[in-house]
Amino acid sequence: MPIDTAAGLDREHLRQLLAETIDADVADVRDDTDFVQTLGVDSLMALEVVVVLERAYGIKFAETEMSTVRTLNSAYEVVHRKLVERP
């Protein structure tokens, strides 16, 4: 899949990063797979996902946004928006 040139975000790289962070097979991290419901991610691991995304992309999550990152699609949307809005 091509890199989103507007934000420098590659969905497949994000998928790999998330899979490594939650210790799951990349094939299990489908676009709409719920990390908590399907892959058994607990609250501590969910926080680790947010920290990894912040470090990898140089962004900051608001506390209210942290709970919205439950799928690859939701992670992509939040990271993409933050990269586009970044000064």
Q: What is the dihedral of CA 38, 42, 44, 47, to 10 degrees?
A: 30
9 phi/psi in degrees, rounded to 5: -115, 125
Query: Could you identify the residue written with the tokens 């946004």?
Result: 65
Query: Could you identify the residue written with the tokens 């439950």?
Result: 70
**What tens digit of pLDDT does each residue of 29-78 get?**
999 999 999 999 999 999 999 999 999 999 999 988 989 999 999 999 99
In this prediction, residue 7 has a pLDDT band, given cuts at 50, 70 and 90, of: low
